[in-house]
Amino acid sequence: MSFRLEARGLDCERDGQRLFAGLGLSVADGDCLLVSGPNGSGKSTLLRMLAGQLPPQAGELAWCGRVLRHGARALRANLLYMGHAPGVAASLTPLETLAWYQALRGERGDDDARLAALEDWGLGEGAGIPAGQLSAGQRRRVALARLTLTSAPLWLLDEPFTALDRDAANLLEERLSAHVRAGGAVVLASHHVPALTVAMSRLALGESPRPDEVAV
């Protein structure tokens, strides 16, 4: 099924500093967009806006042509957002965490599939111990195992390569390419330019003087 997330005329000012103004972009099935820019240029801010978490000072979001009032559910039902914090509770095991994330989308799933996803990400052994006892990179891998399980077509990922070792980074690049090829869409904020096997557009914040015309 085809979909499209559009942003029109987004303005963002934080503490009197204009991060971007009149920014428009559009992401549809089969698109991959890399948001780059120096530290503090507003990458995380933009991703949070696209997820409907942070209301823009001006401008609007539209999902499949319908304008969204703040964080409307039509968008959320199709969205997987991953921020700076991986969203892995310290006292729950990776399996429990994944089960909860599936349930939040109304899916039951089963433990076999979840275990397979964790093994996929090299966490077979850690699947049953509380995540507080995992290393930074292992916790990030638990979060990434959601990518294997989810049915959401649009992924917004804020620096997903943080704390990953080479193997995991390669695996992630592979998964992103596969998702886009299968008709999903990815928006990625990263300082690292991933090696994907699909076409990737780039949006550079904080550098180009007029980011208005950027569109995918």
Partner 1 sequence: MWRAIHRLGSPAIFYAVAGRLQPWCWALAIALLLAGSLWGLVWAPADYQQGDSVRILYVHVPTALLAQSVFVLLAAAGGVFLVWRIKLADMLAAAIAPFGALMTLLALVSGALWGLPTWGTWWVWDARLTSMLIQLFLYLGVIALRGAYTAAESGARASALLALVGVVNVPIIKFSVDWWQTLHQAATFSLVRPPSMPASMWLPLLVMVAGFYAFFVALALTRTRSEILRRESRTRWVRERVARTTGKAAR
Partner 2 sequence: MGAGDADTGLATAWAATLGRELRRAGRRRGETLAPLTFFALVIALFPLGLTVQPERLAGLAPGLLWVTALLATLLSLEALFRDDHADGSLEQMLLAPQPLAALVLAKVLAHWLVGGLPLALLAPLLGVLLALPAGSYLPLAVSLALGSASLSLIGAIGAALTVGLARGGLLLSVLVLPLFVPVLIFGAGAAQAALVGGAFGAHLALLGALLALALLLAPWAIAAALRIAING
Ligand X SMILES: Nc1ncnc2c1ncn2[C@@H]1O[C@H](COP(=O)(O)OP(=O)(O)OP(=O)(O)O)[C@@H](O)[C@H]1O
Q: Is 45 in the site for ligand X (CB under 6 A)?
A: yes
Q: Which does 50 bind (CB under 5 to 8 A by kind): partner 1, partner 2, a second copy, none?
A: none
Q: Is 42 in the site for ligand X (CB under 6 A)?
A: yes
Cα separation, 146 vs 118, whole angstroms: 9
Contact map string, positions 130 to 159, toward partner 1, x by CB under 8 A: x-xx--------------------------
What count of residues does the chain have? 216
Cα separation, 130 vs 123, whole angstroms: 12
CA angle 145, 147, 148 (to 5 degrees): 70
Q: Is 14 in the site for partner 1 (CB under 8 A)?
A: yes
Specify which residues 13 forms β-bridges with: 18
Q: In the complex with partner 2, which residue's Cβ is closer, 29 or 173?
A: 29
Q: Judge contact between 197 and 177, C-beta under 8 A.
A: yes
Integer angstrom CA distances of residue 170 from 25, 85, 132 = 28, 21, 25
Cα separation, 1 vs 214, whole angstroms: 25
Near partner 2 in 140-159, by CB under 8 A: 151, 153
The helix (H) or strand (E) run that includes residue 22 is strand 17-28
Q: Is 67 in the site for partner 2 (CB under 8 A)?
A: no
Q: In the set 19, 25, 43, 101, which binds partner 2 (CB under 8 A)? A: 101
Q: Is 40 in the site for partner 1 (CB under 8 A)?
A: no
Q: Is 133 in the site for ligand X (CB under 6 A)?
A: yes
Binding residues for partner 1, per CB under 8 A?
14-16, 90, 130, 132-133
Binding residues for ligand X, per CB under 6 A?
14-15, 19, 37, 39-45, 133-138, 163, 165
